[in-house]
Amino acid sequence: MTRYGMAIDLKRCFGCHACEVACKVANNLPADLAYNRVMTVGGDSFDTAAGEFPNCTLSFLPMQCQHCETPACFAVCPTGATQKDEKTGIVTVDGETCIGCGSCIQACPYQGVRTLIGDDPDYYLDVVVGEADAPAHKPSTVEKCTFCKNLVDRGEEPACMQLCPGRARHWGDLDDPESDVRKAIEGREYEFLQEDAGTGPSIYYLR
């Protein structure tokens, strides 16, 4: 059994959004859908420093599904569309059984990581881009980050890992001491988002 997870080094993330773009292209996401967002911390708007001159700070928080050990979304899904792969720990939503009720969105403590697709998804391009086996985007269903399960299943890394120029992301089996993610975590201070929610996130934010 493998327990996949990710460590994101907040000291190395400089908000270039390459991970966000890589994810969007690889998954052929509609215009209003993002599995991965790079949030600006404390600023009044996107990519805007917090504080007052000359005491300003600019930092970023990559945000996506946390692929929890005990997902809050799993317990409330009325159709079983939200699923957790017991072999990998990856949490997904089955578009064939999702009815778009939004229960998972309401239950998730990490607001903004799930999106209800509209009746007529709009795309930036008139052609399909990304991986040939990228997930289909069905109207009136909920979608979120899948840790690029289609890539992982064939031995590759998630798309967001592949283009990070700051090498801020680390991926692998959290139970394998020789994995990149475990080596990145070792000896570092880290935190989880909304740890008091008791969901057991699989994404470590390195400080």
The pLDDT of residue 111: 85
On the CB side of 157, CA atoms within 13 Å amount to 18
Whether this model's pTM surpasses 0.85: yes
The pLDDT of residue 156: 95
Q: How far is CA 151 from CA 5, 158, 161, 173, in A?
A: 14, 6, 11, 15
The pLDDT of residue 163: 87
The pLDDT of residue 30: 95
The pLDDT of residue 42: 83
Q: Which residues of the chain carry a pLDDT beneath 50?
A: none
